[in-house]
Structure 1
Amino acid sequence: CAKALREIGSEVPTGVYLPSNPEAILISLDLKSGAPMQSAAKAPYRATFRVQTVGIEQVERCADPDYEFMHDFSTEYSQMAIFKVGDDVRQDILALQLMRLFHNIFEQEGLELYLYTYRVIATSPGCGVIECVPNSRSREDIGRNTEAGLFDYFRHVYGKEDSIKFQKARRNFVISMAAYSVALFLLQIKDRHNGNIMLDDEGHIIHIDFGFMFESSPGGNMRFEPDIKLTAEMILIMGDLTAPAFLWFKELCIKGYLALRPYRQHFITLVALMLDTELPCFRGHTLEQFNARLKPDSSETEAARYMHEVINRCAHSLRTRIYDYIQFQQNKIPY
């Protein structure tokens, strides 16, 4: 990666921009930033750029050879991006489009639920650019630097459990955990090892990499993982299974699930538009299974009870621990 970046050079032509951020001009390339990303089958790499947000109109004006771009150092900042070759990112795009719909509905319904829908752009068949989640670390990265669990990590970063800073981080953790739990269940997103789970500086949990969803899963579509990743260390941040924070988490999950049900036809239509792409997540029964998870024939009370049962059976799931152990043995991903 470093050699390839040196061949490109640190300076970039005026008017160049990242497809994942078309409102910002690229100023320079950090030649020391090239790093291969861990992947079971592919070789994605990450690079860091210095960019300046100027707006789409000014980016377009930069295409004019006579236009003189005014560089403002005060608004320059770093932005990372992941580049994939030989990997179809359209499945990630579909997952994030659906999550964006979920996010908009949550906002419309006045629900305090957090989803970070980062940008993914398919640049050509089998190639794409992925926006890196800013101000965040993967759970894998945290595990490589400390043997402490998430709760101890939270105490180290945010202070004592009764401090305001810790309470704010816990709150952010709960509202993001609830939102992603609903999304993981409805979209059946799998391969939830610790390399695909991020924590930002404010305590939000953020899921990335949606290469397995709907009817596809690792290990030849075994569907081994539970519907939601809800480990002991995640629960410990919220207290325990009877703590107010965990009960609030369950309440938010149920409210989020109920808020999405009336819009099921919108989701089904969006997925149906992608069926002809023959993405690996489509194996013949995607629409009916997706529809069934939204319980169209159930009352609101019955649907709430159903979501409550989903959460209960996923908490402390043995299958989650086994999958994390397999990922550690095969790919050395800490858990």
Structure 2
Amino acid sequence: MTGNEFRFFLSCDINLPVTFRVDRLEGHLPLPVKSPNSESNVPTEDRTGELYVECALYIDGAQFGLPTRTRLESSGPYCWNELITLTTKYRDLTAQSQLTFTVWDVSHGDGLVGGATILLFNRKKQLKTGKQKLRLWPGKEADGAFPTSTPGKVPRHERGELERLEKLVNKYERGQIPRVDWLDRLTFKTMEKIKERESLKNGSSHLYLVVDFCSFEHRVVFQESGANFLMPSPIASTNDIVIVWDPEVGKINPSEHKQLKLARSLTRGVIDRDLKPSSNERKSIQRILKYPPTRTLSGDERQLLWKFRFSLMSEKRALTKFLRCVEWSDVQEAKQALELMGKWEMIDVSDALELLSPVFESEEVRAYAVSVLERADDEELECYLLQLVQALRFERSDKSRLSHFLVQRALRNIELASFLRWYVAVELYDPAYAKRFYCTYEILEENMMKMAAGVNGEEDGFKLWQSLVRQTELTAQLCSITRDVRNVRGNTQKKIEKLRQLLSGLLSELTYFDEPIRSPLAPGVLITGIVPSESSIFKSALHPLRLTFRTANGGTCKIIFKKGDDIRQDQLVVQMVSLMDRLLKLENLDLHLTPYMVLATGQDEGMLEFIPSRSLAQILSEHRSIVSYLQKFHPDDHGPFGITATCLETFIKSCAGYSVITYILGIGDRHLDNLLLRDDGRLFHVDFGFILGRDPKPFPPPMKLCKEMVEAMGGAESQYYTRFKSYCCEAYNILRKSSNLILNLFYLMAGSNIPDIASDPEKGILKLQEKFRLDLDDEASIHFFQDLINESVSALFPQMVETIHRWAQYWR
């Protein structure tokens, strides 16, 4: 068939009965007529009834045949999904044929809910197909006259975005729009939001009936039987080539479902034990095992893994995929799956994190995941602690195995105890899960008061808990100081003077603590007081405090305290930087990253470790180039560009590390003010207000790699720039190997209140997955990443935006 041909069927040639499906009712039922003596006032949302739909065919305004009724539906949402087949054939229809639909309620009053009428042919005399959404006329029985007084078609001026989208869905279901699994999920989720918004905007004033008309291989054009048509009929003389769309497509076939259950039944267990996959089946299984944890398995893939479950028990990677195949509603199948899980090859900790995601609801599976986590040492557990606390949202009970495990490990390690207490305390502000997090908090406090492992006596346990409680008292005092300083009129210097005055006078107890307090950022460090003369305030809208604390060992540590800003997103990003730094070092690649400490102590407050450094904007303003700045601290007449080779290597490695990490995490709003450089040549990023692809600037480059950084490496043709690209590609391939771990950790954050995740968790995780390019092998990924680097360096528009940003900062 060429592009100019238009194939169609003639209605007079279709010797099939008129068929359609009554799908569902949308909207709230209207209130029943209130009697004068009645005092009840039932909200519209609470109205229920026993409904059925009466369908009738009208030809040229006269009823043709007997009306047909659906079954009764007694509770909302009212979904009949019932196939109706009339005695009338398509060949008997006229251009003015109509179907009437009247909804009756047998439980209230006269029982009439409303009716609607729809023409079977459109203005072009083509048969209507697919889903049709009809607006019911309340209190009126559907009228089959021509023209009708109860048209179900929504007037053009009242149609919104939702009607247009529903037409596209209609085409999608008929196969006229190609299917893309991950994109379809995001699209339908967005459509649900639009539907909710439209519903709120329009209120509950309208009721709609959704019906589904039969579709054919080609369009059906109206033609009276026996008419003289000049063109030859596209249908041959035999009727067997008329293909009718099956309305059951996409729905569960009961007989097929029964066959699958029989195939998976326990009676086949003896046979399945000896089954071995063929060469092609083995390739399919290996392909499935490489799927990321976000990938949904198809029915055939689930069946394949179930069939060869016994031969896969020695493959530890296969367990999480196998557990996704189990029909947990089937008691016997679930029982066998749990038995196999206990005999399976022990999985890695990264895979255990996947079993704690919301996908797995079985308490036995989640308990198994916790038993795997028990093998992790404290250092590794601390890397995942933030996500494990978030996983408490997906537990079935408030006192779960996971909660008990976290508390028991915290009792053995004061750093874990401190971080667990803060992570849980911050989540107490979430009303939906406050009780669950409070239970964990309560269990931790109760056990701390008792004899904990490694603590001698109940009194010492009490002191240990009190030392953590005093952290909260300290942050409360710092919040009070921040408010007092903000209220001071004048410039930053006056606010600094007020801060030092408060610390030396009214709040002098903060200068020297009665007893040492464990630092919230680093619980292993004991702080004994604040040094007023070395404390200051940053010139910023929120006026964050920069505090210098004395430590018990005679040294000092500097902490930034911010009030009025949610830093939980920064906390997550820095945690991921720290984790990726650990993964790179395990592969003997140290890129000199700076994963400074960040801790949210509330929804709008928190602490950050202060790292002495200067922004690239400030360095370029004062020293003209990065090399000139580094020459000041590490001069070497014989070294490259007049600086020591060690310093330049440190700079190159840190640039490479952060280029890769910021690309993977989709960190946005990168400018020269949030790129900092330490005296030893380490470059690092701060301020992570935009992640997972969000960026306030138009056309951002794939990664932040400004020309000044390239110039510091000797230019694009330099051997040092080539070494930079080599480090980037090596780091990218190392992190790609741990993509499942990183994706699992973000998946556990799906229920958190972190802004860029909470807005659309599924979309954010899919964006993160896309950055790993799991479809490429290591060699192809190297070429891909080198192209990304070249694209970022040559990006002109971001350079223009950076220049505008610098001017804005100057005039500010």
Shorter-chain TM-score range: 0.7 to 0.9
Correspondence for 2:547: 47
Q: CA deviation at 1:309?
A: 0.8
Correspondence for 1:286: 764
Mapping for residues 9-158 of structure 1, pairs under 5 Å: 9=508, 10-39=511-540, 42-52=542-552, 75-133=553-611, 135-143=612-620, 146-158=622-634
- Residues 24 and 272 from structure 1, CA distance in 2 versus in 1: closer, same or farther, beyond 3 angstroms? same
Distance in structure 2 (CA, Å) of the matches to 1:51 and 1:332 = 38
Correspondence for 1:271: 746
Distance in structure 1 (CA, Å) of the matches to 2:719 and 2:570 = 34
- Give the partner amino acid of 2:778: E
Q: CA deviation at 1:259?
A: 0.7
Q: Does structure 2 retain, via aligned residues, the 8 Å contact 1:193–1:333?
A: no
Q: CA deviation at 1:87?
A: 1.2
Q: CA deviation at 1:112?
A: 3.3
Distance in structure 1 (CA, Å) of the matches to 2:658 and 2:601 = 27
Q: CA deviation at 1:78?
A: 2.5
Q: Which deviates further from its counterpart, 185-194 or 156-165?
A: 156-165
CA RMSD of aligned residues (A): 2.3
Distance in structure 1 (CA, Å) of the matches to 2:804 and 2:539 = 16
Residue 639 of structure 2, aligned match among 163, 173, 192: 163
Mapping for residues 210-249 of structure 1, pairs under 5 Å: 210-218=688-696, 222=698, 224-249=699-724
Q: Does structure 2 retain, via aligned residues, the 8 Å contact 1:44–1:83?
A: yes
Distance in structure 1 (CA, Å) of the matches to 2:558 and 2:658 = 23
Gaps in structure 2 of 5+ consecutive residues = 1-494
Distance in structure 2 (CA, Å) of the matches to 1:325 and 1:12 = 47
- Residues 34 and 244 from structure 1, CA distance in 2 versus in 1: closer, same or farther, beyond 3 angstroms? same
Off by >6 Å, runs of 4+ in structure 1: none
Distance in structure 2 (CA, Å) of the matches to 1:161 and 1:253 = 29
- Residues 286 and 38 from structure 1, CA distance in 2 versus in 1: closer, same or farther, beyond 3 angstroms? farther
- Pick 1 or 2: higher relative contact order, CA cutoff 8 A, min separation 6: 1
Q: CA deviation at 1:203?
A: 0.8
**Which protein has the larger Cα radius of gyration, Structure 1 or Structure 2?**
2
Q: Which deviates further from its counterpart, 228-237 or 178-187?
A: 228-237
Residue 257 of structure 1, aligned match among 711, 716, 732: 732
Q: CA deviation at 1:197?
A: 1.6
The count of corresponding residues between Structure 1 and Structure 2 is 306
- Give the partner amino acid of 2:547: A
SS at match of 2:638: coil
- Give the partner amino acid of 2:517: V
SS at match of 1:195: coil
Quote the sequence identity (%).
Answer: 26
SS at match of 1:229: coil
SS at match of 2:572: helix
- Give the partner amino acid of 1:295: R
Distance in structure 2 (CA, Å) of the matches to 1:143 and 1:17 = 39
Residue 209 of structure 1, aligned match among 674, 687, 690: 687
SS at match of 2:599: strand
- Residues 167 and 325 from structure 1, CA distance in 2 versus in 1: closer, same or farther, beyond 3 angstroms? same
Q: CA deviation at 1:286?
A: 0.7
- Residues 204 and 161 from structure 1, CA distance in 2 versus in 1: closer, same or farther, beyond 3 angstroms? farther
Distance in structure 2 (CA, Å) of the matches to 1:17 and 1:333 = 42
Q: Deviations over 1:102-126 (max 9, x none)?
A: 1111111122322211111111221
Q: Does structure 2 retain, via aligned residues, the 8 Å contact 1:235–1:241?
A: yes
- Residues 311 and 288 from structure 1, CA distance in 2 versus in 1: closer, same or farther, beyond 3 angstroms? same
- Residues 16 and 248 from structure 1, CA distance in 2 versus in 1: closer, same or farther, beyond 3 angstroms? same
- Give the partner amino acid of 1:137: R
SS at match of 1:209: coil
Q: CA deviation at 1:266?
A: 0.9
SS at match of 1:275: coil
1:174 pairs with 2:652: yes
